[in-house]
A and B are shown apart, each in its own frame.
Chain A
Amino acid sequence: MGAAPAARDVTSYGMGLAAPLALFFLVFFVAPLLQLFWLSLHNDTAGLHWGLGQYLHFLTDPFSLGVLGSTLLLGAEVTAVCLVLGFPIAWLYQRVGPKLQTVIILIVLLPLLTSVVVRTFAWIVILGRQGIINATLQSLGLIDTPLKLLYTQFGVVIALAQVQMPLMTLPLITALGRIDPNLDDASCSLGAGSWRTFFRILLPLSLPGIIAGCTLTYAAAITAFITQSLIGGGQMLFMPMYLYQQASTLQNWPFAAAISIIFLLAVLAVVSVFTTLGRMSRGYGGA
Protein backbone atom coordinates (compact mmCIF):
# COMPACT_ATOMS: atom_id res chain seq x y z
CA MET A 1 0.00 0.00 0.00
CA GLY A 2 2.67 2.44 1.07
CA ALA A 3 4.92 1.65 -1.91
CA ALA A 4 2.36 2.53 -4.57
CA PRO A 5 2.28 6.32 -4.13
CA ALA A 6 6.06 6.45 -3.82
CA ALA A 7 6.45 4.45 -7.04
CA ARG A 8 4.05 6.72 -8.87
CA ASP A 9 6.01 9.66 -7.57
CA VAL A 10 9.23 8.80 -9.41
CA THR A 11 7.59 8.10 -12.75
CA SER A 12 5.53 11.26 -13.00
CA TYR A 13 6.40 14.92 -12.80
CA GLY A 14 4.54 17.68 -11.02
CA MET A 15 1.96 19.73 -12.89
CA GLY A 16 4.07 22.78 -12.04
CA LEU A 17 6.25 22.04 -15.05
CA ALA A 18 3.30 22.87 -17.28
CA ALA A 19 2.87 26.27 -15.62
CA PRO A 20 5.24 28.26 -17.86
CA LEU A 21 3.58 27.10 -21.08
CA ALA A 22 0.12 27.46 -19.55
CA LEU A 23 0.95 31.03 -18.57
CA PHE A 24 2.43 31.72 -22.00
CA PHE A 25 -0.76 30.42 -23.65
CA LEU A 26 -2.94 32.41 -21.29
CA VAL A 27 -1.21 35.68 -22.12
CA PHE A 28 -0.43 35.19 -25.80
CA PHE A 29 -3.17 32.83 -27.00
CA VAL A 30 -6.26 32.97 -24.79
CA ALA A 31 -6.09 36.71 -24.05
CA PRO A 32 -5.76 37.75 -27.73
CA LEU A 33 -8.71 35.53 -28.69
CA LEU A 34 -10.81 37.02 -25.88
CA GLN A 35 -9.87 40.49 -27.00
CA LEU A 36 -10.80 39.55 -30.56
CA PHE A 37 -14.20 38.45 -29.31
CA TRP A 38 -14.59 41.65 -27.25
CA LEU A 39 -13.79 43.85 -30.25
CA SER A 40 -16.21 41.92 -32.48
CA LEU A 41 -19.02 43.03 -30.15
CA HIS A 42 -18.61 46.68 -31.16
CA ASN A 43 -20.49 48.53 -33.84
CA ASP A 44 -17.90 51.15 -34.78
CA THR A 45 -14.31 50.80 -35.99
CA ALA A 46 -12.98 52.69 -32.97
CA GLY A 47 -14.50 50.05 -30.67
CA LEU A 48 -16.54 52.45 -28.49
CA HIS A 49 -20.14 51.37 -29.03
CA TRP A 50 -21.30 47.96 -27.91
CA GLY A 51 -23.57 45.93 -30.16
CA LEU A 52 -24.04 42.94 -32.38
CA GLY A 53 -23.87 45.07 -35.53
CA GLN A 54 -20.86 43.28 -37.02
CA TYR A 55 -22.49 39.87 -36.68
CA LEU A 56 -25.81 41.17 -38.02
CA HIS A 57 -23.96 42.70 -40.95
CA PHE A 58 -22.24 39.41 -41.76
CA LEU A 59 -25.29 37.21 -41.29
CA THR A 60 -27.61 39.41 -43.36
CA ASP A 61 -25.12 40.12 -46.13
CA PRO A 62 -25.51 37.63 -49.03
CA PHE A 63 -21.94 38.32 -50.14
CA SER A 64 -20.42 37.44 -46.75
CA LEU A 65 -22.62 34.35 -46.39
CA GLY A 66 -21.57 33.32 -49.89
CA VAL A 67 -17.90 33.55 -48.92
CA LEU A 68 -18.52 31.44 -45.82
CA GLY A 69 -20.53 28.89 -47.79
CA SER A 70 -17.97 28.53 -50.56
CA THR A 71 -15.19 28.16 -47.99
CA LEU A 72 -16.98 25.35 -46.15
CA LEU A 73 -17.82 23.69 -49.48
CA LEU A 74 -14.20 23.96 -50.62
CA GLY A 75 -13.10 22.17 -47.43
CA ALA A 76 -15.58 19.36 -48.07
CA GLU A 77 -14.44 18.91 -51.68
CA VAL A 78 -10.76 18.86 -50.75
CA THR A 79 -11.40 16.40 -47.90
CA ALA A 80 -13.33 14.07 -50.22
CA VAL A 81 -10.56 14.11 -52.85
CA CYS A 82 -7.91 13.50 -50.16
CA LEU A 83 -9.86 10.55 -48.75
CA VAL A 84 -10.40 8.90 -52.14
CA LEU A 85 -6.74 9.33 -53.10
CA GLY A 86 -5.22 8.86 -49.65
CA PHE A 87 -6.95 5.64 -48.64
CA PRO A 88 -5.42 3.53 -51.42
CA ILE A 89 -1.97 4.85 -50.45
CA ALA A 90 -2.51 3.66 -46.88
CA TRP A 91 -3.84 0.34 -48.21
CA LEU A 92 -0.81 -0.10 -50.48
CA TYR A 93 1.49 0.79 -47.57
CA GLN A 94 0.22 -2.20 -45.58
CA ARG A 95 0.88 -4.62 -48.45
CA VAL A 96 4.47 -3.81 -49.41
CA GLY A 97 7.79 -4.66 -47.75
CA PRO A 98 9.54 -2.43 -45.20
CA LYS A 99 11.82 -0.82 -47.83
CA LEU A 100 8.91 0.30 -49.98
CA GLN A 101 7.05 1.37 -46.85
CA THR A 102 9.81 3.84 -46.03
CA VAL A 103 9.73 5.11 -49.62
CA ILE A 104 5.95 5.64 -49.48
CA ILE A 105 6.16 7.40 -46.10
CA LEU A 106 8.90 9.72 -47.32
CA ILE A 107 6.93 10.56 -50.49
CA VAL A 108 3.92 11.38 -48.32
CA LEU A 109 5.97 13.27 -45.74
CA LEU A 110 8.07 15.44 -48.02
CA PRO A 111 5.30 17.78 -49.16
CA LEU A 112 4.20 18.22 -45.55
CA LEU A 113 7.60 19.66 -44.73
CA THR A 114 8.13 21.56 -47.99
CA SER A 115 7.16 25.22 -47.94
CA VAL A 116 3.49 25.79 -48.79
CA VAL A 117 4.41 28.64 -51.12
CA VAL A 118 6.72 26.30 -53.02
CA ARG A 119 4.05 23.62 -53.31
CA THR A 120 1.47 26.14 -54.47
CA PHE A 121 3.93 27.67 -56.91
CA ALA A 122 4.42 24.21 -58.40
CA TRP A 123 0.71 24.05 -59.20
CA ILE A 124 0.89 27.42 -60.94
CA VAL A 125 3.55 25.90 -63.19
CA ILE A 126 1.42 22.80 -63.80
CA LEU A 127 -1.95 24.47 -64.31
CA GLY A 128 -0.83 27.63 -66.11
CA ARG A 129 -1.55 28.50 -69.75
CA GLN A 130 1.85 27.16 -70.75
CA GLY A 131 1.85 24.54 -68.03
CA ILE A 132 2.26 20.80 -68.33
CA ILE A 133 -1.41 19.92 -68.66
CA ASN A 134 -2.09 22.44 -71.41
CA ALA A 135 1.19 21.69 -73.20
CA THR A 136 0.48 17.95 -73.14
CA LEU A 137 -3.11 18.30 -74.32
CA GLN A 138 -2.05 20.69 -77.09
CA SER A 139 0.79 18.49 -78.32
CA LEU A 140 -1.63 15.56 -78.42
CA GLY A 141 -3.92 17.71 -80.53
CA LEU A 142 -6.79 17.34 -78.09
CA ILE A 143 -7.28 21.08 -77.64
CA ASP A 144 -6.47 24.14 -79.75
CA THR A 145 -6.50 26.88 -77.16
CA PRO A 146 -5.17 26.44 -73.61
CA LEU A 147 -7.74 25.42 -71.01
CA LYS A 148 -8.33 27.75 -68.13
CA LEU A 149 -7.23 25.70 -65.12
CA LEU A 150 -5.64 28.31 -62.91
CA TYR A 151 -8.07 30.61 -61.06
CA THR A 152 -10.80 27.95 -61.14
CA GLN A 153 -12.49 25.93 -58.42
CA PHE A 154 -11.02 22.74 -59.95
CA GLY A 155 -7.51 24.19 -59.73
CA VAL A 156 -7.92 25.23 -56.10
CA VAL A 157 -9.34 21.83 -55.09
CA ILE A 158 -6.64 19.76 -56.78
CA ALA A 159 -3.80 21.97 -55.50
CA LEU A 160 -5.19 22.01 -51.95
CA ALA A 161 -5.74 18.24 -52.08
CA GLN A 162 -2.07 17.72 -52.90
CA VAL A 163 -0.94 20.19 -50.26
CA GLN A 164 -3.08 18.56 -47.52
CA MET A 165 -2.79 14.91 -48.59
CA PRO A 166 -0.22 13.96 -45.90
CA LEU A 167 -2.63 15.09 -43.17
CA MET A 168 -5.13 12.51 -44.44
CA THR A 169 -2.72 9.71 -45.33
CA LEU A 170 -0.67 9.55 -42.11
CA PRO A 171 -3.63 8.84 -39.74
CA LEU A 172 -5.01 6.35 -42.29
CA ILE A 173 -1.70 4.45 -42.35
CA THR A 174 -1.76 4.33 -38.55
CA ALA A 175 -5.39 3.14 -38.46
CA LEU A 176 -4.95 0.45 -41.11
CA GLY A 177 -1.82 -0.80 -39.33
CA ARG A 178 -3.90 -1.49 -36.22
CA ILE A 179 -6.42 -3.71 -38.01
CA ASP A 180 -5.84 -7.42 -37.45
CA PRO A 181 -4.94 -8.85 -40.90
CA ASN A 182 -6.69 -12.10 -39.92
CA LEU A 183 -10.04 -10.32 -40.22
CA ASP A 184 -9.36 -9.73 -43.89
CA ASP A 185 -8.47 -13.41 -44.42
CA ALA A 186 -11.45 -14.57 -42.37
CA SER A 187 -13.85 -12.44 -44.40
CA CYS A 188 -12.44 -13.73 -47.68
CA SER A 189 -12.40 -17.38 -46.62
CA LEU A 190 -16.01 -17.05 -45.49
CA GLY A 191 -16.85 -16.18 -49.07
CA ALA A 192 -17.02 -12.40 -49.06
CA GLY A 193 -15.33 -10.87 -52.08
CA SER A 194 -12.55 -8.30 -51.88
CA TRP A 195 -14.86 -5.37 -52.53
CA ARG A 196 -17.33 -6.56 -49.94
CA THR A 197 -14.56 -7.14 -47.40
CA PHE A 198 -13.31 -3.65 -48.13
CA PHE A 199 -16.66 -1.98 -47.53
CA ARG A 200 -17.77 -4.20 -44.64
CA ILE A 201 -14.50 -4.78 -42.75
CA LEU A 202 -11.64 -2.51 -43.78
CA LEU A 203 -13.54 0.75 -44.15
CA PRO A 204 -15.57 0.51 -40.89
CA LEU A 205 -12.55 -0.58 -38.86
CA SER A 206 -10.45 2.29 -40.15
CA LEU A 207 -13.12 4.86 -39.25
CA PRO A 208 -11.09 6.40 -36.38
CA GLY A 209 -8.25 7.08 -38.83
CA ILE A 210 -10.62 8.36 -41.50
CA ILE A 211 -12.20 10.77 -39.03
CA ALA A 212 -8.85 11.97 -37.68
CA GLY A 213 -7.62 12.50 -41.23
CA CYS A 214 -10.80 14.28 -42.32
CA THR A 215 -10.65 16.64 -39.31
CA LEU A 216 -7.05 17.65 -39.98
CA THR A 217 -7.53 17.95 -43.75
CA TYR A 218 -10.73 19.96 -43.47
CA ALA A 219 -9.36 22.38 -40.89
CA ALA A 220 -6.19 22.89 -42.92
CA ALA A 221 -7.96 23.24 -46.28
CA ILE A 222 -10.35 26.00 -45.27
CA THR A 223 -7.59 28.08 -43.65
CA ALA A 224 -5.02 27.62 -46.45
CA PHE A 225 -4.57 31.29 -47.23
CA ILE A 226 -1.65 31.01 -49.67
CA THR A 227 -2.98 28.22 -51.87
CA GLN A 228 -6.46 29.71 -51.96
CA SER A 229 -5.29 33.16 -52.96
CA LEU A 230 -2.58 32.16 -55.46
CA ILE A 231 -4.49 29.40 -57.28
CA GLY A 232 -7.92 30.98 -56.82
CA GLY A 233 -6.79 34.41 -57.96
CA GLY A 234 -8.75 37.58 -57.39
CA GLN A 235 -12.14 36.29 -58.48
CA MET A 236 -12.54 33.59 -55.86
CA LEU A 237 -12.80 34.83 -52.34
CA PHE A 238 -12.60 32.57 -49.31
CA MET A 239 -12.82 33.35 -45.60
CA PRO A 240 -9.07 33.77 -44.86
CA MET A 241 -8.57 36.33 -47.65
CA TYR A 242 -11.86 38.06 -46.75
CA LEU A 243 -10.64 38.37 -43.16
CA TYR A 244 -7.24 39.63 -44.29
CA GLN A 245 -8.73 42.24 -46.65
CA GLN A 246 -11.05 43.60 -43.98
CA ALA A 247 -8.31 43.75 -41.38
CA SER A 248 -5.35 44.89 -43.43
CA THR A 249 -6.56 46.77 -46.48
CA LEU A 250 -9.77 48.26 -45.08
CA GLN A 251 -8.60 48.47 -41.44
CA ASN A 252 -12.10 47.46 -40.33
CA TRP A 253 -10.95 45.59 -37.23
CA PRO A 254 -14.30 44.96 -35.53
CA PHE A 255 -15.75 43.45 -38.70
CA ALA A 256 -12.56 41.43 -39.26
CA ALA A 257 -12.85 40.27 -35.64
CA ALA A 258 -16.45 39.19 -36.21
CA ILE A 259 -15.40 37.32 -39.38
CA SER A 260 -12.66 35.60 -37.35
CA ILE A 261 -15.09 34.56 -34.62
CA ILE A 262 -17.65 33.25 -37.12
CA PHE A 263 -14.87 31.40 -38.95
CA LEU A 264 -13.55 30.02 -35.66
CA LEU A 265 -17.00 28.81 -34.64
CA ALA A 266 -17.54 27.20 -38.04
CA VAL A 267 -14.23 25.32 -37.72
CA LEU A 268 -15.03 24.31 -34.13
CA ALA A 269 -18.48 23.08 -35.17
CA VAL A 270 -17.02 20.92 -37.93
CA VAL A 271 -14.25 19.59 -35.67
CA SER A 272 -16.68 18.72 -32.89
CA VAL A 273 -18.98 16.91 -35.34
CA PHE A 274 -15.98 14.88 -36.49
CA THR A 275 -14.86 14.29 -32.88
CA THR A 276 -18.32 13.02 -31.91
CA LEU A 277 -18.35 10.72 -34.92
CA GLY A 278 -14.87 9.57 -33.92
CA ARG A 279 -15.98 8.71 -30.38
CA MET A 280 -18.95 6.77 -31.76
CA SER A 281 -16.80 4.93 -34.29
CA ARG A 282 -14.30 3.92 -31.62
CA GLY A 283 -17.05 2.06 -29.81
CA TYR A 284 -18.04 0.54 -33.14
CA GLY A 285 -14.55 -0.42 -34.26
CA GLY A 286 -13.73 -2.18 -31.01
CA ALA A 287 -10.00 -2.69 -31.52
Chain B
Amino acid sequence: MSGRKRTLEAISFELVMTVIAMIALLIIIAPSLVVLIVSFTSGFSLRFPPPGYSLRWYVELWNAWQLHFAAKNSLIVALWATGLSVTLGVAAALAISRSRTLSARLLDSLFMSPLVLPALAFGLAALMLFSLVGLPVSPLTLVIGHTVVCVPYVVRNTVAALAQLEPTLLESSAVLGASRLYTFRRIVLPLIRPGIIAGAFIAFMSSFDNVPVSLFLRDAATDMLPIRMWQDLEGKLDVTIAALSGVLIIATVALVAVMERVTGLSRRLTN
Protein backbone atom coordinates (compact mmCIF):
# COMPACT_ATOMS: atom_id res chain seq x y z
CA MET B 1 0.00 0.00 0.00
CA SER B 2 2.60 2.48 1.06
CA GLY B 3 4.92 1.37 -1.79
CA ARG B 4 2.18 2.05 -4.32
CA LYS B 5 1.45 5.41 -2.75
CA ARG B 6 5.08 6.32 -2.99
CA THR B 7 5.33 5.50 -6.69
CA LEU B 8 2.26 7.56 -7.46
CA GLU B 9 3.77 10.34 -5.43
CA ALA B 10 7.10 9.96 -7.25
CA ILE B 11 5.33 9.95 -10.60
CA SER B 12 3.43 13.11 -9.75
CA PHE B 13 6.71 14.82 -8.79
CA GLU B 14 8.55 13.76 -11.94
CA LEU B 15 5.59 14.67 -14.10
CA VAL B 16 5.27 18.17 -12.65
CA MET B 17 9.01 18.85 -12.89
CA THR B 18 9.31 17.49 -16.44
CA VAL B 19 6.27 19.39 -17.69
CA ILE B 20 7.49 22.69 -16.21
CA ALA B 21 10.97 22.08 -17.63
CA MET B 22 9.50 21.42 -21.09
CA ILE B 23 7.36 24.56 -20.92
CA ALA B 24 10.38 26.57 -19.78
CA LEU B 25 12.56 25.25 -22.60
CA LEU B 26 9.76 26.03 -25.06
CA ILE B 27 9.48 29.59 -23.72
CA ILE B 28 13.24 29.99 -24.15
CA ILE B 29 13.45 28.70 -27.69
CA ALA B 30 10.06 29.79 -29.15
CA PRO B 31 10.74 33.53 -29.62
CA SER B 32 13.77 32.94 -31.82
CA LEU B 33 11.87 30.44 -33.95
CA VAL B 34 8.90 32.79 -34.27
CA VAL B 35 11.10 35.65 -35.46
CA LEU B 36 12.86 33.38 -37.95
CA ILE B 37 9.50 32.30 -39.42
CA VAL B 38 8.03 35.82 -39.49
CA SER B 39 11.13 37.19 -41.22
CA PHE B 40 10.21 35.14 -44.31
CA THR B 41 6.73 36.66 -44.55
CA SER B 42 5.43 37.97 -47.85
CA GLY B 43 3.13 40.42 -46.10
CA PHE B 44 3.65 43.84 -44.59
CA SER B 45 2.87 43.00 -40.97
CA LEU B 46 4.28 40.81 -38.23
CA ARG B 47 1.21 38.56 -38.36
CA PHE B 48 1.82 34.99 -37.25
CA PRO B 49 1.55 32.66 -39.05
CA PRO B 50 2.57 34.72 -42.10
CA PRO B 51 0.08 34.89 -45.01
CA GLY B 52 2.80 33.64 -47.39
CA TYR B 53 6.54 33.22 -47.61
CA SER B 54 9.16 35.20 -49.51
CA LEU B 55 12.64 36.65 -49.23
CA ARG B 56 11.45 40.22 -49.86
CA TRP B 57 12.45 41.56 -46.42
CA TYR B 58 15.92 40.10 -46.75
CA VAL B 59 16.20 41.93 -50.10
CA GLU B 60 14.97 45.06 -48.31
CA LEU B 61 17.61 44.52 -45.65
CA TRP B 62 20.28 44.32 -48.34
CA ASN B 63 19.42 47.93 -49.28
CA ALA B 64 19.01 49.31 -45.76
CA TRP B 65 22.18 51.39 -45.70
CA GLN B 66 21.46 52.90 -42.27
CA LEU B 67 21.46 49.45 -40.71
CA HIS B 68 24.63 48.52 -42.65
CA PHE B 69 26.35 51.63 -41.35
CA ALA B 70 25.32 50.89 -37.75
CA ALA B 71 26.32 47.23 -38.08
CA LYS B 72 29.76 48.22 -39.38
CA ASN B 73 30.28 50.62 -36.45
CA SER B 74 29.15 48.00 -33.94
CA LEU B 75 31.49 45.43 -35.46
CA ILE B 76 34.52 47.73 -35.38
CA VAL B 77 33.87 48.84 -31.80
CA ALA B 78 33.27 45.24 -30.68
CA LEU B 79 36.53 44.05 -32.26
CA TRP B 80 38.57 46.82 -30.62
CA ALA B 81 36.84 46.40 -27.25
CA THR B 82 37.46 42.64 -27.37
CA GLY B 83 41.11 43.12 -28.25
CA LEU B 84 41.61 45.59 -25.43
CA SER B 85 39.64 43.40 -23.00
CA VAL B 86 41.77 40.35 -23.81
CA THR B 87 45.07 42.27 -23.48
CA LEU B 88 44.19 43.87 -20.15
CA GLY B 89 42.03 41.04 -18.84
CA VAL B 90 44.38 38.10 -19.41
CA ALA B 91 47.29 39.94 -17.76
CA ALA B 92 45.12 40.82 -14.77
CA ALA B 93 43.78 37.25 -14.55
CA LEU B 94 47.36 35.88 -14.43
CA ALA B 95 48.13 38.22 -11.55
CA ILE B 96 45.07 37.57 -9.41
CA SER B 97 44.24 33.93 -10.16
CA ARG B 98 46.74 32.17 -7.89
CA SER B 99 47.06 34.89 -5.32
CA ARG B 100 45.09 34.64 -2.09
CA THR B 101 46.07 38.09 -0.82
CA LEU B 102 43.51 40.69 0.13
CA SER B 103 44.56 42.99 -2.70
CA ALA B 104 44.01 40.21 -5.23
CA ARG B 105 40.51 39.57 -3.90
CA LEU B 106 39.70 43.27 -3.88
CA LEU B 107 40.92 43.65 -7.46
CA ASP B 108 38.84 40.62 -8.43
CA SER B 109 35.70 42.25 -6.98
CA LEU B 110 36.54 45.52 -8.70
CA PHE B 111 36.99 43.86 -12.10
CA MET B 112 33.73 41.91 -11.68
CA SER B 113 31.63 44.83 -10.44
CA PRO B 114 30.52 46.08 -13.89
CA LEU B 115 28.53 42.83 -14.16
CA VAL B 116 26.13 43.74 -11.34
CA LEU B 117 26.15 47.55 -11.32
CA PRO B 118 23.55 49.16 -13.58
CA ALA B 119 25.43 49.75 -16.81
CA LEU B 120 23.18 52.69 -17.65
CA ALA B 121 24.49 54.58 -14.62
CA PHE B 122 28.03 53.83 -15.75
CA GLY B 123 27.20 55.02 -19.28
CA LEU B 124 25.98 58.36 -17.95
CA ALA B 125 29.00 58.65 -15.64
CA ALA B 126 31.40 57.96 -18.50
CA LEU B 127 29.68 60.57 -20.68
CA MET B 128 30.03 63.13 -17.86
CA LEU B 129 33.72 62.35 -17.44
CA PHE B 130 34.47 62.53 -21.16
CA SER B 131 32.64 65.83 -21.51
CA LEU B 132 34.47 67.19 -18.44
CA VAL B 133 37.89 66.43 -19.93
CA GLY B 134 36.71 67.67 -23.33
CA LEU B 135 36.80 64.33 -25.14
CA PRO B 136 33.90 64.27 -27.64
CA VAL B 137 31.96 61.04 -28.14
CA SER B 138 33.68 58.98 -30.80
CA PRO B 139 34.51 55.35 -31.59
CA LEU B 140 37.33 55.76 -29.04
CA THR B 141 35.02 56.63 -26.14
CA LEU B 142 32.75 53.76 -27.18
CA VAL B 143 35.66 51.31 -27.16
CA ILE B 144 36.73 52.48 -23.70
CA GLY B 145 33.19 52.25 -22.30
CA HIS B 146 32.56 48.84 -23.85
CA THR B 147 35.88 47.52 -22.55
CA VAL B 148 34.88 48.33 -18.97
CA VAL B 149 31.69 46.27 -19.23
CA CYS B 150 33.24 43.46 -21.34
CA VAL B 151 36.51 42.82 -19.52
CA PRO B 152 34.84 40.90 -16.62
CA TYR B 153 33.97 38.05 -19.00
CA VAL B 154 37.60 37.70 -20.11
CA VAL B 155 38.93 37.90 -16.53
CA ARG B 156 36.40 35.37 -15.24
CA ASN B 157 36.97 32.78 -17.97
CA THR B 158 40.76 33.15 -17.86
CA VAL B 159 40.83 32.84 -14.07
CA ALA B 160 38.67 29.70 -14.34
CA ALA B 161 41.04 28.21 -16.94
CA LEU B 162 44.09 29.06 -14.81
CA ALA B 163 42.50 27.44 -11.76
CA GLN B 164 42.41 24.11 -13.60
CA LEU B 165 46.05 24.37 -14.59
CA GLU B 166 48.22 21.79 -12.80
CA PRO B 167 50.95 23.72 -10.88
CA THR B 168 53.31 20.73 -11.16
CA LEU B 169 53.46 21.34 -14.93
CA LEU B 170 54.94 24.78 -14.33
CA GLU B 171 57.31 23.44 -11.70
CA SER B 172 58.52 20.65 -14.00
CA SER B 173 59.05 23.14 -16.77
CA ALA B 174 61.08 25.38 -14.44
CA VAL B 175 63.09 22.43 -13.09
CA LEU B 176 63.94 21.44 -16.65
CA GLY B 177 65.45 24.87 -17.12
CA ALA B 178 62.76 26.72 -19.08
CA SER B 179 62.53 30.45 -18.51
CA ARG B 180 59.25 31.86 -17.20
CA LEU B 181 58.43 33.43 -20.54
CA TYR B 182 59.15 30.17 -22.35
CA THR B 183 57.00 28.23 -19.87
CA PHE B 184 54.21 30.76 -20.36
CA ARG B 185 54.39 30.54 -24.13
CA ARG B 186 54.72 26.77 -24.41
CA ILE B 187 52.78 25.46 -21.40
CA VAL B 188 50.44 28.01 -19.86
CA LEU B 189 49.13 29.76 -22.94
CA PRO B 190 48.21 26.62 -24.92
CA LEU B 191 46.38 25.20 -21.87
CA ILE B 192 44.38 28.31 -21.05
CA ARG B 193 43.77 29.35 -24.67
CA PRO B 194 40.26 27.81 -24.87
CA GLY B 195 39.30 29.74 -21.73
CA ILE B 196 40.62 32.99 -23.18
CA ILE B 197 38.82 32.38 -26.46
CA ALA B 198 35.54 31.63 -24.65
CA GLY B 199 35.90 34.83 -22.61
CA ALA B 200 36.78 36.86 -25.69
CA PHE B 201 33.78 35.44 -27.52
CA ILE B 202 31.34 36.39 -24.75
CA ALA B 203 33.00 39.82 -24.48
CA PHE B 204 32.61 40.33 -28.22
CA MET B 205 28.95 39.32 -28.21
CA SER B 206 28.13 41.55 -25.26
CA SER B 207 29.91 44.52 -26.83
CA PHE B 208 28.15 43.98 -30.15
CA ASP B 209 24.85 43.84 -28.26
CA ASN B 210 25.56 46.62 -25.76
CA VAL B 211 22.85 49.23 -25.29
CA PRO B 212 23.27 51.02 -21.92
CA VAL B 213 26.80 52.28 -22.56
CA SER B 214 26.32 53.00 -26.25
CA LEU B 215 23.19 54.96 -25.45
CA PHE B 216 25.28 57.73 -23.90
CA LEU B 217 28.59 57.39 -25.72
CA ARG B 218 27.45 57.44 -29.35
CA ASP B 219 26.11 60.09 -31.68
CA ALA B 220 24.71 60.10 -35.23
CA ALA B 221 28.19 59.63 -36.69
CA THR B 222 28.80 56.56 -34.56
CA ASP B 223 25.39 54.91 -34.74
CA MET B 224 25.38 51.46 -33.15
CA LEU B 225 23.28 48.54 -34.38
CA PRO B 226 21.26 47.65 -31.23
CA ILE B 227 20.41 51.34 -30.72
CA ARG B 228 19.44 51.78 -34.37
CA MET B 229 17.19 48.69 -34.12
CA TRP B 230 15.66 49.92 -30.88
CA GLN B 231 14.89 53.34 -32.33
CA ASP B 232 13.41 51.76 -35.47
CA LEU B 233 11.17 49.58 -33.30
CA GLU B 234 10.06 52.51 -31.13
CA GLY B 235 8.78 54.26 -34.23
CA LYS B 236 7.13 51.48 -36.20
CA LEU B 237 7.16 47.70 -36.35
CA ASP B 238 9.33 47.23 -39.38
CA VAL B 239 9.53 43.77 -40.94
CA THR B 240 13.07 44.61 -42.10
CA ILE B 241 14.07 44.34 -38.44
CA ALA B 242 12.64 40.80 -38.48
CA ALA B 243 14.93 39.95 -41.41
CA LEU B 244 17.89 41.51 -39.59
CA SER B 245 16.92 39.53 -36.48
CA GLY B 246 16.88 36.39 -38.61
CA VAL B 247 20.42 37.12 -39.81
CA LEU B 248 21.61 37.80 -36.23
CA ILE B 249 19.97 34.63 -34.86
CA ILE B 250 21.55 32.45 -37.55
CA ALA B 251 24.95 34.13 -37.09
CA THR B 252 24.72 33.56 -33.32
CA VAL B 253 23.81 29.88 -33.74
CA ALA B 254 26.72 29.41 -36.17
CA LEU B 255 29.19 31.19 -33.86
CA VAL B 256 28.04 29.24 -30.81
CA ALA B 257 28.42 25.98 -32.75
CA VAL B 258 31.99 26.93 -33.70
CA MET B 259 32.80 28.02 -30.14
CA GLU B 260 31.33 24.80 -28.72
CA ARG B 261 33.77 22.89 -30.97
CA VAL B 262 36.78 25.09 -30.20
CA THR B 263 36.35 25.78 -26.49
CA GLY B 264 33.63 23.48 -25.13
CA LEU B 265 31.65 26.60 -24.28
CA SER B 266 28.71 24.81 -22.62
CA ARG B 267 30.93 22.95 -20.15
CA ARG B 268 32.81 26.16 -19.32
CA LEU B 269 29.65 28.01 -18.33
CA THR B 270 28.33 25.31 -16.02
CA ASN B 271 31.51 24.49 -14.10
Task: For the complex, give the distance between the alpha carbons of A257 and B255 in Å.
Answer: 38
| Closest CB in chain B relative to A126 CB, distance in Å | 6
> CB distance B92 to A130 under 8 Å?
no
- Chain A, residues 3-29, CB within 8 Å of chain B (1/0): the string is 000010011111111101110110011
In angstroms, Cα B113 to Cα A123, docked, is 30
* Category for how many chain B residues contact A: 35 or more
Are B226 and A16 in contact, with the CB atoms below 8 A? no
Q: Please tell me if the beta carbons of A21 and B151 are within 8 angstroms of each other in the complex.
A: yes
Of A35, A102, A188, A230, the residue contacting B266 (CB under 8 A) is A102
8 A-B pairs (CB sep. < 8 Å): A18-B104, A21-B89, A25-B111, A28-B148, A85-B27, A104-B25, A165-B24, A257-B128
For chain A, the count of residues having a C-beta within 8 Å of the partner chain is 97
Contact A109 B10 (CB under 8 A): no
Query: What separation, in Å, do the CA atoms of A13 and B205 have in the docked complex?
Result: 29
Does B233 lie within 8 Å of A85, measured CB to CB?
no
Given A130-B48, A162-B27: A91 touches B21 (CB 8 Å cut-off): yes
Complex interface: chain B residues within 8 A of A263 (CB) = 118, 121
Question: Among the interface residues B6, B18, B115, B209, which one has the most CB atoms of the partner chain A within 10 A?
Answer: B209
B211–A18 contact, CB under 8 A?
A: no
CA of A20 to CA of B144, assembled, Å: 14
Taking the complex as formed, is B1 at the interface, i.e. its CB lies under 8 A from any CB of chain A?
no
Q: Is B59 an interface residue (CB 8 A)?
A: no
Q: In the assembly, what is the distance between CA of A28 and CA of B212, in Å?
A: 16
Cβ of B120 under 8 Å from chain A: yes
Asked if A39 is an interface residue, CB under 8 A from chain B, the answer is yes
Say if the beta carbon of A89 comes within 8 Å of chain B.
yes
**Chain B hits for A85, CB < 8 A:** 20, 23-24, 27
Contacts of B126 in A (CB 8 A): 28, 32
CB <8 Å contact, A36 and B104: no
B84 — nearest CB in chain A belongs to which residue?
A: A24
Structural contact, B34 and A126, CB atoms closer than 8 A: yes
Point out the residues of chain B lying under 8 angstroms from A33, CB to CB.
121-122, 125
On chain B, the residues within 8 Å of A107 by CB distance are 25, 28-29
**Are A230 and B31 interface neighbours, CB within 8 A?**
no
A55-63, A114-122, A277-285: which lies at the interface: A114-122
* B121 in contact with A264 (CB, 8 Å): yes
A264 pairs with B117, CB closer than 8 A: yes
A80-102 contacts to B, CB under 8 A, are: 84-86, 88-89, 91-92, 102
Q: A105-B270, A116-B209, A215-B116 are known contacts. Are A21 and B230 too (CB-CB below 8 A)? A: no
Residue A211 is within 8 A (CB to CB) of chain B in the complex: no
Question: Which residues of chain A are near B242, meaning CB under 8 Å?
Answer: 121, 125
Give, as a whole number of angstroms, the nearest-CB distance from A58 to chain B.
14
Instruction: Answer yes or no: B220 CB below 8 A from chain A CBs.
Output: no
Closest to B5 in A: A193
Q: Mark B164-177, 1 if CB is under 8 A from A, else 0.
A: 00010011011000
B32 touches A122 (CB 8 A): yes
A175-205 at interface with B (beta carbon < 8 Å): 177, 188, 193-195, 198
- Which residues of chain A from 195 to 253 have any CB-CB distance to chain B below 8 Å in the complex? 195, 198, 215-216, 219, 222-223, 225-226, 229-230, 239-240, 243-244, 247-248, 253
Determine how close the nearest CB of chain B comes to the CB of A156; give it in whole angstroms.
14
Contacts of B249 on A, CB cut-off 8 Å? 114, 118
Q: Using A25-B148, A39-B128, A109-B266 as known contacts, say yes or no to A123 and B31 having CB atoms under 8 A apart.
A: yes
The answer on a CB contact under 8 Å between A22 and B180 is: no
